[in-house]
Structure formats: structure tokens, C-alpha cells
Structure 1
Amino acid sequence: MRELPHGDTVTILRPGPSTSQDIYGNDVPGAVAEIPVPGCAVAPRDGTGSATNEIVGDRDTVISGLTLYAPFGTDIRATDRVRVGDDIYEVEGHVGSFRSPFSGSTGPVVVALELVTG
């Protein structure tokens, strides 16, 4: 899939390499790199735009998901976050892509995104 001519630009937020460790010996990620990806399609995951709603204690928690379709070859990792508009989503699960064994044509990189608020 080529860049969509009327697609949206999203930004991949990728943690930089570790430069230090915390007091427990865990690596602390470095500065976040921002990688713009133009020509993407973004759609609600369930096709209706609805989200799940859960009451936890005295707070309302809303979990919503999107499916991101990025141009073939886009490097998106499970450890990345993705900015869509003003919201920052977590990558959920593995990223998928497809190349036809018959024609060699390529499809988009498909990414499940999740946003938890509240």
C-alpha cells in the first residue's frame, strides 16, 4: 500500500536507547523520538466508534481502540506509542503486514491501538 493521498499523518513516539538505570537496576529509556507517518487511515476498531466504560472506585475509566493502517514498510514496534490527533495511544499486540505471494503487491501495516482514560 502506498501512502493514502487523503490520509492522516500520525506520529510514532519511540523511546530512545537506555542511557541509565534506576535504583532497582532497570534500564531507563532515553529521550523519545517523534517519527511522523503521513498517508495513514485511522478507523474505530469495532466499526461503530464506541468505547467500553468501566467504573473503578470513584473514577470512570474509558477504553477505546483504533485500527491504524500505515503504508507498507512503516516501522512500528510493540513498545511504541502513536499520537493520533491530540491523543496518545498504546500499540496493542503485534503489528501485521501482508505481501501477496501471487502478485507481489503489498497491503498496509495494520496496528491495533488502545487509549485508556480516567
Structure 2
Amino acid sequence: MFAAGETVTRRRGTPVLDPYSQEETGTDWKTPDDLEIPNCAVADGGSLEPLEDARDAVISDFDVIAPFGSDVTARDRLVIRGLVCEVVARPFDWRSPFTGWQPGTVIKAKIVEG
């Protein structure tokens, strides 16, 4: 797909269930299920530094284009160039309505540092 694509790692946590109702109450990230996704494109989605007292935060957004049908959900994390980022939207599989061409899956990710 890309002549010089890079590998991004999908990280999936384990659901934590309430022992009585069996409803999901959170996610355990201690031993996540990692899946390497090769041949991705990573683009800068912008960054900002919110003005907050006593905090020097930087929020960075990334757009990842992965192979079509990549196993990523909005509840996962991505490791992009060593940074662990949250997936912030439902991944979208692009498909041409005219030719059926499937160029890839677009994944929005974000990291908050500081």
C-alpha cells in the first residue's frame, strides 16, 4: 500500500466486569493484547497547549491510515513511534462506491502529555 509504510501496534485492554451484574466497569491495561499493523501511514493531526494553572500539557492528534479492515476499535490504544495514544473515534474503512477500491482504514488517535 505504501512504499515506506511504518508499523503501528494496536493495544487492546481486557474488559473488567462487575462480579455481580457482569456489566463492564472499566478496562484493565496491565496485560494488553498487542497486534502489529504493518504498512501504515502516520500524519500529524495537529497539537495544542491548553492554558491550565500549574500544568504544562500538550495534546497531540494523529491520523493513521492502516490497511483496509484492520482490527482496531474506538476502545483500543495505538503505539505510534513509541507513544501510547488513545483511539478517539470509530475507525473508518474507506471504500469507493464507483470501483470498490479499498484504500485503507482511517484511525484518529490522541495523546495528552504533561
Output the TM-score relative to the length of structure 2: 0.83
Map of 1:13 onto structure 2 = 11
Give the 5 Å matches for 1:1-118: 2=1, 4-18=2-16, 21=18, 27=25, 29=27, 31-46=31-46, 51-118=47-114
Shift of residue 116, structure 1, vs aligned partner = 0.5
- Looking at structure 2, the residues matched to 90 and 112 of structure 1 have their Cα atoms a distance apart, in angstroms, of 9
What TM-score do you get using the length of structure 1 for normalisation?
A: 0.81
Moved >6 Å (runs of 4+): none
**1:28-47 deviations in Å (ceiling 9; x for gaps):** 5453101000000000014x
CA distance, structure 2, for counterparts of residue 70 and residue 111 of structure 1 = 8
Give the unaligned 5+ runs of structure 1: none
Aligned to 1:16, the other structure's residue is in SS state strand
For residues 52 and 28 of structure 1, what CA distance do their matches in structure 2 show? 28
Q: CA RMSD in A?
A: 2.0
**Partner Cα separation in structure 1 for residue 26 and residue 75 of structure 2:** 14
Change (3 A) 1:37 1:59: same
